[in-house]
Amino acid sequence: MTWYAGLRIHECFRIDTAIGEQALRENAITIKGKGGKVRSVPISESISIELKKLPAVTSRGHKLFVPDGVSTDIAIARLQQYIYMVRPQIQDEGSTHPMTLHGLRHSFASIAHSRNVPLFGISRALGHSTTSTTTRIYMHLFDDTHLSVVQAVGEAVGINGPGDSMKGKMQE
């Protein structure tokens, strides 16, 4: 859910059977995020396939990713500990950042950006109240945006790029 929909770890662990069933009916999951903000996030076919399996092993009214008799905080801690233990075997070779579940949320934003999803759409999917929040947190993703805008405008007006001198164009 973090990788495919950009959900926070706590948002994933709050999903119960009713929310899962509703998501399957509506092809979108309604999530209560930070600050109590509610948003609807479309679900991919991959999420849908996995959600269909969970009601068979989860009692009605129970959380899908939290075992019975275990608090949500403990379930989250166990998952984070598991990721820490297996990280050396599953992390991308040459990666300089330690893999975390929250890192998958950053990957979601990065992939969306690389596919030219508008900033507003990325921000909305992540549950940020403003695009400035998304820009501040994921600034490294958007650093090239300003350059690409300058290059596009430069090409439109006949300047090849940031290295060109405006003086020559103004004197013509």
Q: pLDDT by residue (tens digit) across 59-92? A: 999 999 999 999 999 999 998 898 888 877 777 7
Segment 125-139 shows an average pLDDT of 83
Pick from 126, 99, 95: nearest CA to 110: 126
Which residues are CB-contacts of 48 (< 8 A; sequence separation ≥ 6)? 23, 24, 27
Task: Report yes or no on whether pTM surpasses 0.75.
Answer: no
Q: Does the residue 135 lie in any domain?
A: no
Q: Please indicate, yes or no, if residue 77 is contained in any of the structural domains.
A: yes
| SS percent in the chain: helix, strand, coil, step 5 | 60, 5, 30
pLDDT for position 155: 64
Range of the domain at 61: 2-97
Residue 48 lies in a domain: yes
Q: Which residues pair with 30 in a beta bridge?
A: 40
Three-state DSSP at 95 gives coil
Does a structural domain hold residue 164?
no
Q: What's residue 156's pLDDT?
A: 66
Residue 137 lies in a domain: no
Give the residue, 112 or 141, on which the prediction is more confident.
Answer: 112
> Does 33 reside within a domain?
yes
- 146 inside domain: no
Nearest-angstrom CA–CA distance, 117 and 46: 20
**Which is more confidently placed, 33 or 26?**
26
Contacts 24+ apart (CB under 8 A), 115-120: none
Cβ atoms of 37 and 127 within 8 Å: the answer is yes
The count of domains in the chain is 1
Q: pLDDT: is 158 or 95 the higher one?
A: 95
Does residue 172 lie in a domain region? no
DSSP 3-state assignment of 113? helix
